[in-house]
């Protein structure tokens, strides 16, 4: 079965290389991997110099006080390797990275599979090394481990690269699967999934997000720990540091605020009619998934009968506008702090965007129907703080119900109840030494 796995992985990587001839994202995937081994060699060389300096101090005639000051064992830090498929998985691993940095003298190595994660987080300030994961093969796995020499490894959510996992087991290096989610349709639970089951069984500890995932693993003889989703820890911490913007403060002017985040065309088609008819005591802050001119004009066309202003043109003379269209990136999380109600896009297109951010401010969330791969959506719905709609009529019904309700206490209470995954995982790591 390993042969079949290796063949399928090689074919998959080959298909990406072929696609790179015309696909910009695939080209970044290929080009970025050209630097992997050079980066790893430099990282290993730095570690080697640090170890040599430490050994030199041990063998010197320094007094104990001088040795501890200059050559403390804490100057040879542990190395924690995190592997994330993309940006979303990075955000799930991030609370653990930050906690490890806070609690110990360590080095953080982060690998990505996708350009959408690497390109955004390649300069992450807490990481000592960020790179693409070299293609999964026995040869690459051995070389990677020789160069990084990790103390512990964290694969986030969906990542299960067999050769790397088997190599970690062979070297007796603890490897944890963090914030994992499993579904019955996955290969692990099929009659022909024996090889991938052996991959899962080679992981030191699997931390799952929910009971359903734990039960699925138990059905194939694997124990796991329900830790929850580390992103709750992250967003609740971020909410405490939300920025305010003077012009937006003036724009809101004691109105109720409906924040629409990361909208696609399909989302606009569902929500625009109702938002155009929203009561006068409401204002709207809206962002699209892309901020190029064509997307911004698309939004403006949907709301041509409303007074809409772009953030870049907002000033004291147009604060009476009804809709504020954000035409930059990086503000959305902070904007949710202004909200009384939120709609999060993506679930009529590629997949639901981040619904945890608005909820971290006590804001109930409406979203589309494509959310089955997002456990948080089901949790939101089950706890009455999230609402899925399939068309404009359903959106209007939910909007009419929610626009006069204050659900802040209920939403914040739920979000606080979900915190703690980072501590559960961290305590396990500490127990294992």
Res. 52 pLDDT band, cuts 50 70 90: low
Residue 432 has pLDDT above 70, yes or no: no
Question: pLDDT value at position 383?
Answer: 96
Res. 144 pLDDT band, cuts 50 70 90: very high
- Domain boundaries, given as residue ranges, for the chain: 2-229+421-432, 244-415
340 to each of 221, 282, 351, 354, 359, how far by Cα in Å?
A: 46, 9, 24, 17, 10
Three-state DSSP state, 8: helix
pLDDT in tens, 316-361: 999 999 999 999 988 999 999 999 999 999 999 888 999 999 999 9
pLDDT in tens, 154-196: 999 888 999 999 999 999 999 999 999 999 999 999 999 999 9
Question: pLDDT value at position 70?
Answer: 44
For residues 261 and 343, what is the distance between their CA atoms, to the nearest angstrom? 6
Question: pLDDT value at position 429?
Answer: 75
Question: pLDDT value at position 74?
Answer: 44
pTM as predicted: 0.82
Three-state DSSP state, 91: helix
CA nearest 325: which of 368, 359, 353, 287?
A: 287
Residue 72 has pLDDT above 90, yes or no: no
User: Are 85 and 112 contacting, i.e. CB atoms less than 8 angstroms apart?
Assistant: yes
Mean pLDDT, all residues of the chain = 89
For residues 184 and 125, what is the distance between their CA atoms, to the nearest angstrom? 38
Average pLDDT (66-79) is: 56
CATH fold of the domain at 2-229+421-432: Rossmann fold (3.40.50)
For residues 151 and 139, what is the distance between their CA atoms, to the nearest angstrom? 20
Residue 86 has pLDDT above 80, yes or no: yes
Residue 59 has pLDDT above 60, yes or no: no
Average pLDDT (145-154) is: 95
What CATH number has the domain spanning 244-415? Answer: 3.40.50.2000
For residues 118 and 132, what is the distance between their CA atoms, to the nearest angstrom? 7
Decide whether 2-229+421-432 matches 244-415 in CATH topology.
yes
353 to each of 46, 86, 264, how far by Cα in Å?
A: 39, 13, 11
């Amino acid at each position: 079965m390993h042969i079949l796995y290796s063949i399928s992985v090689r074919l998959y990587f080959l298909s990406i290389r072929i696609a790179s001839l015309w696909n910009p994202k695939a080209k970044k995937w290929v080009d970025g991997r050209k630097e992997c081994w050079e980066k790893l060699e430099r990282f290993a060389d730095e570690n080697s110099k640090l170890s040599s300096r430490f050994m030199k101090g041990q063998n010197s005639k320094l007094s104990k006080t001088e040795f501890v000051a200059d050559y403390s064992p804490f100057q040879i830090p542990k190395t924690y390797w995190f592997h994330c498929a993309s940006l979303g998985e990075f955000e799930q691993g991030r609370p653990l990275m930050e906690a490890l940095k806070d609690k110990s003298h360590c080095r953080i190595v982060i690998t990505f599979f996708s350009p959408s994660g690497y390109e955004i987080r390649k300069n992450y300030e807490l990481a000592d090394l960020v790179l693409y994961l070299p293609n999964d093969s026995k040869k690459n796995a051995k070389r990677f481990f020789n160069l990084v020499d990790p103390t512990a490894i964290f694969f986030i959510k969906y990542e299960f690269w067999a050769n790397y996992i088997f190599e970690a087991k062979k070297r007796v290096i603890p490897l944890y699967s963090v914030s994992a989610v499993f579904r019955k349709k996955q290969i692990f639970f099929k009659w022909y999934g024996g090889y991938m089951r052996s991959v899962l069984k080679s992981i030191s500890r699997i931390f799952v997000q929910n009971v359903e995932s734990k039960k699925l693993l138990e059905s194939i003889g694997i124990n796991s720990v329900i830790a929850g989703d580390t992103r709750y820890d992250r967003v609740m911490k971020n909410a405490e540091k939300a920025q305010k913007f003077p012009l937006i403060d003036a724009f809101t002017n004691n109105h109720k605020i409906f924040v629409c985040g990361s909208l696609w065309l399909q989302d606009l088609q569902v929500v625009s009619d109702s938002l155009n008819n929203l009561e006068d005591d409401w204002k709207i802050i809206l962002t699209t998934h892309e901020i190029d001119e064509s997307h911004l004009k698309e939004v403006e066309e949907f709301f041509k009968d409303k007074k809409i202003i772009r953030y870049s043109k907002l000033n004291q003379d147009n604060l009476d506008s009804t809709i504020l269209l954000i035409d930059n990136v990086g503000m959305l999380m902070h904007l949710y702090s202004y909200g009384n109600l939120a709609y999060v896009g993506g679930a009529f297109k590629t997949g639901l965007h981040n619904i945890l951010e608005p909820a971290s401010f006590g804001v109930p969330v409406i979203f589309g129907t494509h959310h089955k791969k997002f456990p948080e959506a089901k949790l939101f719905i089950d706890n009455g703080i999230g609402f899925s709609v399939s068309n404009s009529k359903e959106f209007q019904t939910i909007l009419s119900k929610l626009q006069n309700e204050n659900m802040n206490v209920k939403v914040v209470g739920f979000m606080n109840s979900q915190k703690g995954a980072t501590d559960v995982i961290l305590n396990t790591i500490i127990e294992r030494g």
